[in-house]
Structure 1
Amino acid sequence: MIRARLHENWRAIPEDARGCAAALGNFDGVHLGHAHLVHTLHTARPDLPLAVVTFEPHPRELFRPQDPPFRLTLSAEKLAALEALGVQHVFQIGFDEAFSRMSAEQFVGDVLFSALGLRHIACGQDFAFGHRRGGDVTFLAEQAAELEMGFTPVAALADAGGPYSSSRIRRLLQDGYPERAAEELGRPWFIRGEVQHGDKRGRLLGFPTANIPLGRHLEPARGVYAVTVRLPNGQTRRGVANIGRRPTINDGQESRLEVNLFEFDGDLYGQTLSVALHRMLRPEKRFDGLEALKSQIAQDAMQARSALDDELSAK
């Protein structure tokens, strides 16, 4: 597989990274709609290196910092997903106050054309850019023509429910349907983070857990999930996870991800895990004491094994 190169300083692009065909957008989730955009661009210009122009942080994080975390993919996850699509260069533009004030004309001329040296660009019909979103697809087509850059507008990929979108996938996860979100992503959705020390209560219950903060990831529906976990050594283990605030223990802390790996005995503290959600088993609920909770966790683990077995047999 071609390794994607990440370029984070748009003012200092190496010469061998210029002359690409690039798809433009935020690419949160890198879902099937994004894949359609990238593949359409590559079909239009197979003679040019394939690239993506994206932004970090997501503009919404800058303009609406009070919003709850909403990201489907962070920078490293996005890079890996784009690499899997055959993208060779990812131009990740730092989106700050100064950049947000850049006019639409400056973005096309100074950034895309002069700084990145793009020869062809593509975007979805709803792409907007520049100060106060002053540029749209029509404006982009006109500017590209003046600068003699090729341009391909790409209609959104859609199904019976409408266009594929990051917003639609977020709603599916928040409603407790990770398996449906996976269909639109083209892969299971996962939360990636570093294992932190917890209160060791899971170990006392007989189900030791790895505790991972949600960080900037979207918080999906609170409850119990059948999961698979990718370890730093590349191994994948099955498990059961809880996402929520642990109402039985009532610790009053922020929501967290706690995952129990089946048939695993090892020290994971400080390691980075990727926890893929496959199916929601039940909503979060309060139990009458730790014994009742312990009994339910055992049932959850059995149900998670069954759900993962069913998924494997269906493939």
Structure 2
Amino acid sequence: MTPDFMVIRDSTAAAAIPKGTVVAMGNFDGVHLGHRAVIEAALAMGRAHGKPALAVTFEPHPRSFFSPNSPQFRLTDEAGKLRLLAGTGLAGAVVMTFDKARAGTTAQDFIHHDLIERLGISGIAVGYDFHFGKGRVGSPSLLVSEAPRLGIEVDVQPHIDIAERPVSSSAIRMALAEGQIDDATAMLGGPWFVHGEVIHGAKRGRDLGYPTANIRLDKNCGLKQGIYAVRVGRGQGKDQVRFDGVASFGRRPTFDNGAPLLEVFLFDFKGDLYGAALDVAFIGFIREELKFDNIEALVRQMDDDSARARAALAAAPGAFPRLGAIA
């Protein structure tokens, strides 16, 4: 992380954009190991050129633009993605608005106008399967073929496999939907996390001896409903304070079977967190959500869940996503 991580948008004046930079280009949902290979290639190229390295990414995710009525389980929202990118050593990120105009821009126009004229890049790193431009005609091979004429360096990174399984955002979404936290963590290169503000709930937890910090996740979150060992961060950068805890994500079938809610119990914490913004990193899956016949049985299970969560967290000391600070 650098404190001066820059975020360049379509509205940023051209004079404020450093020229000659090297860029890593992609959607970067989750900033997983495959994305990190592209970023590392850009960082290495930047060091060789004596130039800063930036990410080039798109918001909203192109899938949301092309299929606005289809649920989109994003691994990271824009802010989360930028914080992960800021933790990689990149000098900044170029966030390009993905709208009708950009969707209709040809690959050649995108290269010449956006990459060469506006950003003035000296090099670019992409993944083997990244496509861009109208009709997804732009490809790594097109960049490679254009590189000599444009005077830029191009690095194309191959796919990354773990246990003979390709790393991808889709594979991580599937792992999270199945509660396979270890698999998701391996592909991400660190724990998956969510960020949200603590809201008021029914306050049943305090009566049970388990007061919780409640966070409403995105309605399209595809995480398997159940109980998790979590590590929680409050604040950013060096000022962040972390806590271990156990969390329930689900509909509370014992009580109201309502809308999905993330309820986090922090171990060894006393205080008021209402309105606080928290990062919640998922370290391990404990069990599926269950309905209990009585409160006593529920509390016994919560005691067991807490013990199992403490054991999972003790086996993963310090595990937390590497997040940088953004303005």
Question: Which bracket does the TM-score occupy, shorter chain normalised?
Answer: over 0.9
CA RMSD of aligned residues (A): 2.0
- State the one-letter code of the partner of 1:185: L
| Deviation beyond 6 Å, 4+ runs, structure 1 | none
Match in the other structure for 1:182: 185
* Displacement of 1:226: 0.7
Unaligned regions of 5+ residues in structure 1, if any? none
Aligned with residue 152 of structure 2, among 149, 152, 158: 149
Match in the other structure for 1:268: 273
DSSP 3-state at the match of 1:36: helix
Q: Which string of whole-angstrom CA distances, capped at 9 and with x for unpartnered residues, describes residues 165-193 of structure 1?
A: 11121121111121222222222111111
Identity of aligned residues (%): 41
TM-score by length of 1: 0.92
Match in the other structure for 1:106: 109
DSSP 3-state at the match of 1:312: coil
- State the one-letter code of the partner of 2:182: E
Within 5 Å, which residues of 2 pair with 1:98-177?
A: 98-177=101-180
Match in the other structure for 1:81: 84
Q: Is the 2:245–2:267 contact (alpha carbons within 8 Å) kept by the matching residues of 1?
A: yes
2:87 equivalent to 1:91? no
Distance in 2 separating the partners of 1:156 and 1:10: 34
DSSP 3-state at the match of 1:17: coil
Aligned with residue 289 of structure 2, among 278, 284, 287: 284
2:305 equivalent to 1:300? yes
Unaligned regions of 5+ residues in structure 2, if any? 320-327
Aligned residues between the structures: 313
* Displacement of 1:15: 4.3
* Displacement of 1:216: 6.3
- Identify if the C-alpha distance between structure 1 residues 103 and 16 changes in structure 2 by more than 3 Å, giving closer, same or farther: closer
- Identify if the C-alpha distance between structure 1 residues 216 and 100 changes in structure 2 by more than 3 Å, giving closer, same or farther: farther
Match in the other structure for 2:13: 12
Match in the other structure for 2:322: none
Within 5 Å, which residues of 2 pair with 1:171-210?
A: 171-210=174-213
* Displacement of 1:4: 1.9
Distance in 2 separating the partners of 1:216 and 1:99: 27
Q: Which string of whole-angstrom CA distances, capped at 9 and with x for unpartnered residues, describes residues 262-293 of structure 1?
A: 11111111111001111110011111133322
* Displacement of 1:131: 1.5
Match in the other structure for 1:54: 57
- State the one-letter code of the partner of 1:22: V
Q: Is the 2:228–2:284 contact (alpha carbons within 8 Å) kept by the matching residues of 1?
A: yes
TM-score by length of 2: 0.89
- State the one-letter code of the partner of 2:284: R
* Displacement of 1:213: 1.1
Distance in 1 separating the partners of 2:252 and 2:148: 57
Q: Is the 2:22–2:45 contact (alpha carbons within 8 Å) kept by the matching residues of 1?
A: no
Distance in 1 separating the partners of 2:199 and 2:298: 22
Bigger mean CA deviation after superposition, 290-299 or 218-227: 290-299
- State the one-letter code of the partner of 2:265: N
